[in-house]
Structure 1
Amino acid sequence: MAGPTSLLFKQNPTLAKSLATFSAMPGGSEGKTIVLGGDGRYFSPEASQIILRIAAGNGIKHVILGQDAILSTPAVSALIRALKTDGGILLTASHNPGGPDEDFGIKFNISNGGPAPEEVTNSIHKITEDIKEYKLVQLPDLDLSKTGEFQHGPLKVTIVDPVSHYIQLLKSIFDFDMIKNWLHTTSPKPTVLFDALNGVTGPYGRAIFVDELGLDESSIQNCIPKPDFGGSHPDPNLTYAHDLVARVEKEQIEFGAASDGDGDRNMIYGAGAFVTPSDSVAIIADWAEKAIPYFKSGVKGLARSMPTSGAIDIVAKAKGLEVFEVPTGWKFFGNLMDAGRLSICGEESFGTGSDHIREKDGVWAIVAWLSILAAANKEKAGSGINDVLMKHWKKYGRSFFSRYDYEQVDSEGAEALMDNLRKLFASSDFVGSELKATSSDTSFKVAEADDFAYTDPIDGSVSTKQGLYIKFADGSRIIFRLSGTGSSGATVRLYVEKYSQNESEYGLDAQVGLKPLIEVALDVSKLKEYTKRDKPDVITVSKRI
């Protein structure tokens, strides 16, 4: 078809095919209500106009749309659940770069507010393989800048403020007065810096830190959503959030935090202390009942993705709580939450959340840490991030953890790396063997080696080939995962973890504590040989400065 659809194909063929979502909606699309919004990346307003036309052509009755096509991923999940809609469409490629030549994505969330399960996404993919026509209504562009209720051809459209509902949700979860009291009555006042990386959480950050908590504008930066994220990579880690890290260290800021492009990930960083996502979710779980009113009645259960360190498992055991190890993907947590068996969970990829919605929630995690620090200062004045970390490790031990990301690796080499490891694991003498570090006499005895598989305890579904892992006799682990094996290259992720109850080690940089294990991982996988890389693009690691 000519006009808008031709533009759609020209700008982003993947988006055009992904609009098969309407055909794959559970129960069909006729008469349904959906939420629509995104992270503000390039082409989002234009895509929203096209989606409205196709929604009208496919019988959708009502679209709830974020003003200027803006809604964070957690805010979409919250609206779906609060308004009991039939699902939502998110225009996001999460923490990937934006702009005319960068990533654009479309994601479908179902009526519980969480990511669509595999049967739905498989159906969408199958439909995209044989698209012959689009149903749409030729409608003029709708002014997305004005909130209110509009009749748009056969379609009812409600444009909402993207921030207000979500802020009210957070205020029902956390004690903002306690946080505000800590920030304003402590002498000297704690210093704070939030960096939205020019992603969707800019308006949310301003509403929380400036409007609600009464901090100065200097406490926030990069808080205007931009189509290209200001030319940056909106991924909240030590590599891409370097401006935050530099300013925190230069000004010795006590609490720094960043969120990603669509608002579902976070990084906590104070002067001299980086909190790994694995430690973060464990500490939130430990403090939840004391620091967060939402959990005053108790925590139902805890969970982590398989590559995430076992720090939260130790908290669960101490508290007598059920704990789950699931594949990477938030939908696995959602099943457990819907069954009433999970309250707090996290992924080592900077995703942390709870059962208040069915998505990971970066801003929620940031406010959770503010709550923890406020509560910690009630117990001991002057407690900062380092104090909270050290107190946790002394109580539970420390899980040293690091992740190496090798991005845009040749797909053939990446696949060969994984195939070689599978063959190694299958050999009769691998389990029980000793793997020796290259620069010392340290060795690790292989206790188990396999490809992680998961049987969902709620619906019985089975997920296989979720990551190759080696467990050693001392409890250490190394894990290899592969993603994005298309024409643009693959990402190889290496995870290393070592548990210690030796207090003399707690202050070490994780790279020091993990060095022998990292050497073993690189050697056993022949990672440099297969990837042709001498070093990773991104390292996620505890940082002591």
Structure 2
Amino acid sequence: MHRITFGTSGWRGILCEDFTFENVKVVTQAIADHVKAVGEQDKGIIVAYDTRFMGERFAKETVRVLAGAGIKAYFCRRDTPTPVISFEILRRGTAGAVNFTASHNPPEYNGIKFSPSWGGPALPETTGDIERRANEMMGEVCYREMALDEAVRAGLLEEIDPREEYLKALESKVDFDAIGRLGSVAVNALYGTGRGYLDEPLMARGVGVKAINMHRDPYFGGFPPEPSEKYIQDFIRLVKDDPAVGLGIATDGDADRFGIVDGDGTFIEPNYIIALLFDYLVRVRKMTGAVARSVATSHLVDAVAKKHGIEVIETPVGFKYIGELISQDRIIIGGEESAGLSIKGHVPEKDGILACFLVAEMVAREGLSVKALLARLYEEVGTFVTKRENITLSPAVEEGYAEKQRQAPDSFAGLKVTQKVAVDGSKFILEDGSWLLFRKSGTEPVVRLYGEASSEEKLVAVMAAGKQFILG
């Protein structure tokens, strides 16, 4: 019997192993019981899915269990981006949403993400309650199912498509008139939910669109649907080989993460995009408030904040913490190094669609390439080079890892540790502004090592010292 465990973005599992119809029904009943416990069952729940294998079938089983529990389901009639679901929760005032997605995980995975009524990813107290309820019910017939036609007659099922309302709302957050001045943009939905969201708004404004991977494919072309440099080489070549294309924009499988390729085919790390957009929103849009970044995200954000005299809020990894600040209207922008961001006045959830359009707006209004904008920013606030590496631990090293963290050295690569941060994992700020972060995976014998320095040479030395500390 597999135990249900919610991570930073819901419960994920491998199809036919732990992600089965039976387990999905148990988790759905746990969500229904949670919604009833907080007194929101009369608001209904949105049920959605991305382009993964069997997503629609799993979603329909969830509708049947919710109907059996007397809770109305607003069923998305096509695969729907995660940020669009967040938008629709707030627009309709529902008790939340059940979304079948494993985001950027490989194709053999699927997952359930529950977003509560405030529209962001569920906080630990919520997922903990659902997790507890589900595991207590495992192995029991704990739910009642209602046939879909019966649910319709009972008023417990309504089909929806939130696309048009979401795109209409984007018009107040993105300068599409400016984007319309761009000659040609390459678009990559990675076979996911971004189809029709990235391309059609551009074409409607006369922008030339060169699209790739715009059909549904549960195998995602044989790669994880992640818009990172490693997995979008076909897209990078497309942009590089076409001189008419000035920018490439991509989203992951559920369109909550973004990938940006400059006009010359250079992949731009998400860390730098977050900082560039932050500077742009303050300098050009004149937006006010604080800025938030996860503990693993580049301090280039901090340098921009210092330039403008703005407060930085450092959060644990997991967009739910940034989303909470968005919902409180406290921050201009919040972002994570793993390519997630949102802005003030928008949904409290990662939105890769919005991120792509904001970059296109920035490039159009500034009249410079992304690389040129980044070079200009480096001249103003200094250079920042970042890297992340996954380090697999042997059983012996894993056993002693916790004790090693308690006895961490006072220096790395000859640089003295000036500050230790325990927001999430162990982060060490070094005397020259470089830093290292160690985060142990909760599900596998892996330590995620993050590092940043002012040059590639310094970063190599700092990362090597961090790796030696873990394995030595």
Candidates 346, 350, 359, aligned match of 1:360: 350
The answer for the alignment partner of 1:53 in structure 2 is: 64
Cα deviations by residue, 1:37-58 (Å, 9 ceiling, x for unpaired): 1212111111111111111111
Candidates 414, 424, 445, aligned match of 2:416: 445
Candidates 511, 521, 524, aligned match of 2:469: 524
1:70-469 aligned at under 5 Å gives the runs: 70-98=79-107, 102-131=108-137, 132-140=140-148, 152-180=152-180, 182-183=181-182, 189=183, 191-216=184-209, 219-251=210-242, 253-270=245-262, 271=264, 273-289=266-282, 291=284, 295-296=285-286, 298-355=287-344, 356-377=346-367, 383-406=368-391, 409=392, 412=395, 415-416=398-399, 418-425=401-408, 430-431=409-410, 433=411, 435-436=412-413, 443-449=414-420, 452-453=422-423, 466-469=424-427
The answer for the alignment partner of 1:460 in structure 2 is: none
- Which amino acid is the alignment partner of residue 308 of structure 1? T
SS at match of 1:198: coil
Checking the alignment, whether the CA contact within 8 Å between 1:414 and 1:482 is kept in structure 2 is no
Checking the alignment, whether the CA contact within 8 Å between 2:49 and 2:59 is kept in structure 1 is no
Cα deviations by residue, 1:252-297 (Å, 9 ceiling, x for unpaired): 5431122111111111121253322221111101111455xxx55x
- Which amino acid is the alignment partner of residue 139 of structure 1? A
Partners of 2:120 and 2:333 in 1: how far apart? 15
Cα deviations by residue, 1:482-527 (Å, 9 ceiling, x for unpaired): 2242xxx44432111013xxxxx6xxxx4x452222222222222x
Partners of 1:279 and 1:175 in 2: how far apart? 21
SS at match of 2:171: helix
Candidates 33, 38, 53, aligned match of 2:49: 38
Checking the alignment, whether the CA contact within 8 Å between 1:54 and 1:134 is kept in structure 2 is no
Cα deviations by residue, 1:235-256 (Å, 9 ceiling, x for unpaired): 1111112211232233354311
Checking the alignment, whether the CA contact within 8 Å between 1:63 and 1:155 is kept in structure 2 is no
SS at match of 1:49: helix
The answer for the alignment partner of 2:451 in structure 1 is: 496
Checking the alignment, whether the CA contact within 8 Å between 2:276 and 2:377 is kept in structure 1 is yes
Partners of 2:305 and 2:390 in 1: how far apart? 29
Aligned-residue offset at 1:136? 2.5
Partners of 1:10 and 1:469 in 2: how far apart? 34
Partners of 1:247 and 1:268 in 2: how far apart? 13
Unpaired runs of 5+ in structure 2? 1-15
Aligned-residue offset at 1:420? 4.9
The answer for the alignment partner of 2:12 in structure 1 is: none
SS at match of 1:358: coil
- Which amino acid is the alignment partner of residue 360 of structure 1? K
The answer for the alignment partner of 2:438 in structure 1 is: 480
The size of the alignment, in residue pairs, is 450
- Which amino acid is the alignment partner of residue 88 of structure 1? A
Checking the alignment, whether the CA contact within 8 Å between 2:41 and 2:95 is kept in structure 1 is no
Cα deviations by residue, 1:152-205 (Å, 9 ceiling, x for unpaired): 14243332234222211211211111110x21xxxxx4x421111111112212
Aligned-residue offset at 1:9? 8.1
Partners of 2:385 and 2:301 in 1: how far apart? 13
TM-score under structure 2 normalisation?
Answer: 0.88
Partners of 1:141 and 1:230 in 2: how far apart? 36
Seen in structure 2, the aligned counterparts of structure 1 residues 199 and 417 have a Cα distance that, compared at 3 Å, is farther
Candidates 17, 20, 35, aligned match of 2:26: 17
SS at match of 2:325: helix
Seen in structure 2, the aligned counterparts of structure 1 residues 474 and 375 have a Cα distance that, compared at 3 Å, is same
- Which amino acid is the alignment partner of residue 481 of structure 1? R
- Which amino acid is the alignment partner of residue 210 of structure 1? M
Checking the alignment, whether the CA contact within 8 Å between 1:64 and 1:158 is kept in structure 2 is yes
- Which amino acid is the alignment partner of residue 247 of structure 2? F
TM-score under structure 1 normalisation?
Answer: 0.77
Checking the alignment, whether the CA contact within 8 Å between 2:104 and 2:226 is kept in structure 1 is yes
Checking the alignment, whether the CA contact within 8 Å between 1:304 and 1:325 is kept in structure 2 is yes
SS at match of 1:135: coil
- Which amino acid is the alignment partner of residue 205 of structure 1? L
Cα deviations by residue, 1:411-447 (Å, 9 ceiling, x for unpaired): 846734632531432xxxx32x4x33xxxxxx32222
Candidates 54, 62, 74, aligned match of 1:64: 74
Cα deviations by residue, 1:106-161 (Å, 9 ceiling, x for unpaired): 0111111001111111111111121133332330479xxxxxxxx61424333223
Checking the alignment, whether the CA contact within 8 Å between 1:196 and 1:202 is kept in structure 2 is yes
Checking the alignment, whether the CA contact within 8 Å between 2:227 and 2:251 is kept in structure 1 is yes
- Which amino acid is the alignment partner of residue 202 of structure 2? F
Checking the alignment, whether the CA contact within 8 Å between 1:67 and 1:162 is kept in structure 2 is no
- The structure that has the greater radius of gyration is 1
| Sequence identity percentage | 29
Aligned-residue offset at 1:338? 2.9
Unpaired runs of 5+ in structure 1? 1-6, 143-150, 184-188, 378-382, 437-442, 454-465, 500-504, 530-545
Q: Pick which of 410-419 and 470-479 moved more.
A: 410-419
The answer for the alignment partner of 1:148 in structure 2 is: none
